[in-house]
Amino acid sequence: MATRNQDEYQLICQQVLERDNWRCQHCGSMLNLQVHHQQFRSHSGPDVLGNLVVLCFKCHREQHGEG
């Protein structure tokens, strides 16, 4: 897995937000947005555009079984 420094990670997060039109890709919300790893980092998910998606806080928690 490629490790990115904080500046590189912030840049890719910005790219993901722009690609996903600043909307949660599950519910369409534009509030409390976060960038989610589809293949979790804990399972060697990389910090690349194809593995990242924008979710709102609520949907992000649900993806992690916390909702």
Question: Tell me: the pLDDT tens digits for 14-32?
Answer: 999 999 999 999 999 999 9
Sequence-distant (≥ 6) Cβ neighbours of residue 44 within 8 angstroms: 1
pTM comes to: 0.85
Q: Which two tokens stand for residue 47?
A: 């910090």
Residue 1: predicted pLDDT: 44
Question: What are 34's strand-pairing partners?
Answer: 55
Three-state DSSP class for 61?
A: helix
Give the count of alpha carbons within 13 A of 33, CB side only: 21
